[in-house]
Amino acid sequence: MSEVSSKRIKTFVAGPVGFLLLLAVVFFALDRLAGFGLGKVAESSQHRFARVYRGEHEPSILVLGHSRGVQLVSPEAVREVSGLPVFNLSANGMSTEVAEALLLDYAENGGKPAGIILEVSSICSNNRLIRDLKVFANRSPRLAAILKRDEPMLATATRLFHTFRYNGDLMPRILFHCFGDDQAFTNFTVAKPEFLAETPIAAADWQIQEGNPAAVARIVSWARERNIPVRLVVGPFWPAAEADAKVSERVIAALGEVTDEKIWDYSGSLADHRFFADHVHLNADGAMELHRVMLESGFFGLWQGRDGKGKTE
């Protein structure tokens, strides 16, 4: 490089425009480097979403749903009955449309489920969880499509700034679970009778979200095509609250219009406050009691038959 050219470059960089361009180059380089590092950390976590995209799956009964699905079944109890492990992919606020995307990504990454249990009151959840799932949108065209459709500004921001996709509530949880998986029960709260007597569930808070019933129908069709047993479930509500809001009634009616798959309705199966953390969520004891009810009703019959431990339905 000639001395004249060198002087011109130095003069340009020293000027305001050149300085800003240099700063932008450095910023984007650091952003890409930091994003790459955070991505590697996310990939190594034992968090349920990270495991989907790492592709380390054994044939498992996959549980899908929103927060009511998180403690729907006991993994240990189900394994004792069926001989199959359980992988709970439910999460707070997960819509059925997002659950469908995660299910297909799970299978695509080498994890054909041994069965699917879907807590279908999740058709009342919207797609806001996609704001956190932007962490994995670069690994999933399905999540990326939902993000682009529902949160276009976030989608653009994550493409421009790679570290931005790790900004949110999900990344701290991913970091926490770098040191252990997230499949164990965590809710041991016991709701007090006087709290449950308030019955604060409002039907307006449990409206069926457009797109979710169709997603349930697609999940059922996908599972049938692959001979994967599927169970659609409505988990327990506190009875007085459910009588007021009639969530299960509306959910079952909506799904009856899109699929002929049986819906296992356990919405009114438990009535002891000791089994509830609040009006709509079971605690760990509630999950075990629900397991007993499910077992007696033949819910696990098909898996029992396949494993040789019981009779098929």
Q: Are 58 and 52 in contact (CB under 8 A)?
A: no
Spatial separation of the C-alpha atoms in residues 148 and 126, rounded to whole Å: 15
Give the model confidence (pLDDT) of 175-196 as tens digits.
999 888 888 877 899 999 999 9
Domain shared by 3 and 129, yes or no? no
CATH code for the domain in which residue 57 is found: 3.40.50.1110
Handedness of CA 281, 278, 211, 243 (dihedral sign): positive
Give the model confidence (pLDDT) of 103-127 as tens digits.
999 999 987 899 999 999 999 999 9
- Tell me the sheet residues that pair with 118: 64, 232
Domain shared by 105 and 250, yes or no? yes
Domain shared by 20 and 140, yes or no? no
Mean pLDDT of the chain: 88
Domain shared by 275 and 303, yes or no? yes
Mean pLDDT of 151-171: 91
Domain shared by 17 and 134, yes or no? no
Domain shared by 276 and 225, yes or no? yes
Say which residues have a Cβ less than 8 Å from residue 301's Cβ, sequence separation at least 6: 310, 311, 312, 313
Mean pLDDT of 278-307: 88
Asked if residue 226 belongs to a domain, the reply is yes
- Please state the domain count of the chain: 2
Domain shared by 107 and 23, yes or no? no
| 11: containing domain | 1-37
Quickly tell me which residue has 């049938």 as its tokens.
224
Domain shared by 184 and 68, yes or no? yes
Domain shared by 187 and 289, yes or no? yes
Give the chain's radius of gyration (CA, Å): 24
Asked if residue 313 belongs to a domain, the reply is no
Task: Check residue 305 and give its pLDDT.
Answer: 54
Domain shared by 116 and 17, yes or no? no
